[in-house]
Structure 1
Amino acid sequence: MPHTPDPIEDGLDSLPPPPPVFHVEQALLGAILLEPHRAAGLTRITIEAFSTAAHAALFAAIRSLPAPEPAEHAKTTTWLNQVLTAAGEQTRGLTTTYLHHLIQCCPEPRHAPAYARIIEAEHARRLLRDAAQRLLHTALDTTLPQRVATTLAEATTLTTVVDDIANRFPPHPGSLPRTPATPAVVHDEEASGDEEVLLASATARPASVERMRWLTPADFTHPLHAMLWRCLSTMARRGASIDPVTVRWEAQHHGLLTHGSEPAGLLGFLGEPAGCDPEYWGERILRRSLLTTAHHTGRHIEALTHDPATTTYQLVVGSRRALAGLNTVRTRWHLATTPPPANARVSNRISAPPRAGPPPTTAPPAARSAR
């Protein structure tokens, strides 16, 4: 006979399997239901650490009830009924059969602390993933009125999550985390145009280059523009004459002009009129670099959390490495956007009298007579 599709059965078959930590939660709850006194030693795990509402409700009910006497608990199901009633007030679908199933899922009740530690580690992974996703989505949200400030606030929150995980899970010797694939660089016409305007205005106003040490070649999206900024910075530091001709000559020495290329055509934008402030365009480029770095940082950490082979120790190490790059750009952004402090007023302090020296051994020379 042909198979008649059953919508309920087919729907259940299409559900994804539960994560591995789900079975660990079953083992932990089974251990406590079988031997309730073991719940007193689980002080670090929280209700939020459980992946399902049913498991969280059961754990909350267990904590809210006093543990029964072991001898009495072995004879009656009174305490189990109380747990089921208390948990049923928080969520639906729990049955006596499921409680007995949880007890059967526990291979060894005395391993309850190990089960709890695994659940804590997976909860830390979820918290880290959520914070990383908030960072990358914020960095891409163009509707935010204070996009940079909000992004940096999310980066601070993510750093706090990483530090909290590091405090709860002491470091141990282990291999470094695998580095996720680097996202491909997408050519941005607007970013490229901003970079050309900056290079042209900086060539016309070279004195501004020294004041813009907060801008680095890594902030540019186009490799040619990054190397040209390196050329301009090098020339400014050594006090060289800067104009479109000298910059092209410097670019040639840096290998930017290939054989047969026409300097005027390749770097023609350097000689275009640029009456704008280079620092304004530099801040635009640095702002874009900051948001792009924040997005890549969030996506990098998110990828680490999705790798089940990554341990908690590796999550902390990998996240801190990713955040270090973002903090570097953040520091440079602070330098670029913070106005210099006002010149401190010079106080009219009376200078201290000179210290007395040893008495002279020879007579002072006679004063010359005025002519």
Structure 2
Amino acid sequence: MIRADHARRTLRLHAERLAHTATDPAGPDPAAATLMQADALGHVLDDLAGQFAPHPGSLPRTTHSGDVPRQAGEEELDEERLLLATATAYPANVQQMRWLAAEDFILPLHAALWQSVTALVHRGDVVDPITVLGEAQHHKLLTDALTPRDLMALVSTPAGSPEYWGEKILQRALLARAHTVADRITAYTDDPANTPYQLITGSRRALADLNALRTRWNRATSPTPASTTSAPARSAPLPRAGPPHRPALSAARTHR
């Protein structure tokens, strides 16, 4: 019982550290710091697995409410808009961005528009504001809140490079996933009905969700050959003369 209580407290402590690191804006490299905490948690799980024998029914019985919808601030939405604009301007760069998935976006509409752009790219079609508009119309993405004029404006104001904005979006998704994983593990440790081995098994499964995104993050941030397009690779944008046109997208500001 003493060993079991110690294992529970240890897992909870590391989960809390993971959650804190994933939401700490002060660090110079939040993704690296968060993944370091995830590695530390993984090492703890490996150590504990050698101390407790497996048994049938090794998954936690704890129910959790699922992922909390990510809240979209104006900065996050602006980054997603700028990715769509730069991807339309520099589609050759998009061919190398298979590490970015629709699930990484906060706004479902932006995720759907990203899929429209990448569909054009992977088919080898011409990519420009007109063809993106056509693809969006084909998938019935236009609404009263997003008119053809709104969409044309959205994808016609590039700044920087697609990789730069894509990495920002992916990093936000990585940190959000880390926080979700930490909350799930904390919920397991709070349930006294879970045995130590159930805690270990459930925590490992939760951590695997983060590791899947880590793989894509590593692909995104690995050095790649210089692009042949005119877009500067992974460059921050130059200051713009004024704020971008922002269509009225108030209907769906959380991730599905």
> Is this a same-fold pair by TM over 0.5?
yes
Is 1:140 the counterpart of 2:23? The answer is: yes
Q: 1:173 aligns with which of 47, 56, 69?
A: 56
Going from structure 1 to structure 2, the CA distance change for 1:260 and 1:193 (only over 3 Å counts) comes to closer
Partner of residue 185, structure 2 = 301
Alignment map for 1:312-327 (pairs within 5 Å): 312-327=196-211
Going from structure 1 to structure 2, the CA distance change for 1:265 and 1:174 (only over 3 Å counts) comes to same
Partner of residue 98, structure 2 = 213
User: In structure 1, what residue type is equivalent to 2:202?
Assistant: G
Going from structure 1 to structure 2, the CA distance change for 1:260 and 1:303 (only over 3 Å counts) comes to closer
Is 1:269 the counterpart of 2:154? The answer is: yes
Partner of residue 127, structure 1 = 10
**Are 2:58 and 2:197, in contact at CA under 8 Å, matched by a contact in 1?**
no
CA distance in 2, matches of 1:146, 1:262: 38
1:168 offset after TM fit, Å?
1.5
Q: Can you give the 5+ residue segments of structure 2 that lack an aligned partner in the other structure? A: 227-256
1:339 offset after TM fit, Å?
0.8
User: In structure 2, what residue type is equivalent to 1:187?
Assistant: A
Going from structure 1 to structure 2, the CA distance change for 1:123 and 1:334 (only over 3 Å counts) comes to same
1:241 offset after TM fit, Å?
1.5
Alignment map for 1:1-371 (pairs within 5 Å): 118-174=1-57, 176-177=59-60, 178-181=62-65, 182-258=67-143, 262-265=147-150, 268-271=153-156, 273-340=157-224
CA distance in 2, matches of 1:301, 1:241: 46
Going from structure 1 to structure 2, the CA distance change for 1:128 and 1:209 (only over 3 Å counts) comes to same
CA distance in 2, matches of 1:341, 1:323: 32
Q: What secondary structure, in the 3-state scheme, does the structure 1 residue paired with 2:98 have?
A: coil
Partner of residue 104, structure 1 = none
Q: What secondary structure, in the 3-state scheme, does the structure 2 residue paired with 1:321 have?
A: helix
CA distance in 1, matches of 2:94, 2:179: 28
Q: Which of the two has higher C-alpha Rg?
A: 1
CA distance in 1, matches of 2:9, 2:224: 42
Going from structure 1 to structure 2, the CA distance change for 1:269 and 1:157 (only over 3 Å counts) comes to same
- Percent identity between the two aligned chains: 51
Select the structure that is richer in helix. Answer: 1
Going from structure 1 to structure 2, the CA distance change for 1:267 and 1:171 (only over 3 Å counts) comes to farther
* Alignment RMSD (CA, Å): 2.1
CA distance in 1, matches of 2:210, 2:133: 32
Going from structure 1 to structure 2, the CA distance change for 1:217 and 1:179 (only over 3 Å counts) comes to farther
Going from structure 1 to structure 2, the CA distance change for 1:267 and 1:310 (only over 3 Å counts) comes to farther
CA distance in 2, matches of 1:313, 1:191: 39
Structure 1 segments (4+ residues) deviating >6 Å: none
Q: What secondary structure, in the 3-state scheme, does the structure 1 residue paired with 2:95 have?
A: helix
Q: What secondary structure, in the 3-state scheme, does the structure 2 residue paired with 1:211 have?
A: coil
CA distance in 1, matches of 2:33, 2:19: 11
Partner of residue 105, structure 1 = none
Going from structure 1 to structure 2, the CA distance change for 1:225 and 1:261 (only over 3 Å counts) comes to closer
CA distance in 2, matches of 1:264, 1:257: 10
1:267 offset after TM fit, Å?
5.8
User: In structure 2, what residue type is equivalent to 1:295?
Assistant: H
TM-score normalised to structure 1 length: 0.57
TM-score normalised to structure 2 length: 0.81
1:157 offset after TM fit, Å?
0.3
CA distance in 1, matches of 2:131, 2:201: 45
Going from structure 1 to structure 2, the CA distance change for 1:251 and 1:314 (only over 3 Å counts) comes to farther
User: In structure 2, what residue type is equivalent to 1:316?
Assistant: I
Going from structure 1 to structure 2, the CA distance change for 1:141 and 1:247 (only over 3 Å counts) comes to same
Deviates more, 1:182-191 or 1:203-212: 182-191
Going from structure 1 to structure 2, the CA distance change for 1:179 and 1:247 (only over 3 Å counts) comes to farther
CA distance in 1, matches of 2:117, 2:83: 11
User: In structure 2, what residue type is equivalent to 1:264?
Assistant: R
**Are 2:88 and 2:155, in contact at CA under 8 Å, matched by a contact in 1?**
yes
User: In structure 2, what residue type is equivalent to 1:339?
Assistant: P
Q: Which digits, 9 at most, give the CA deviation of each residue in 1:35-58, with x for residues without a partner?
A: xxxxxxxxxxxxxxxxxxxxxxxx
Q: How many residues align?
A: 224
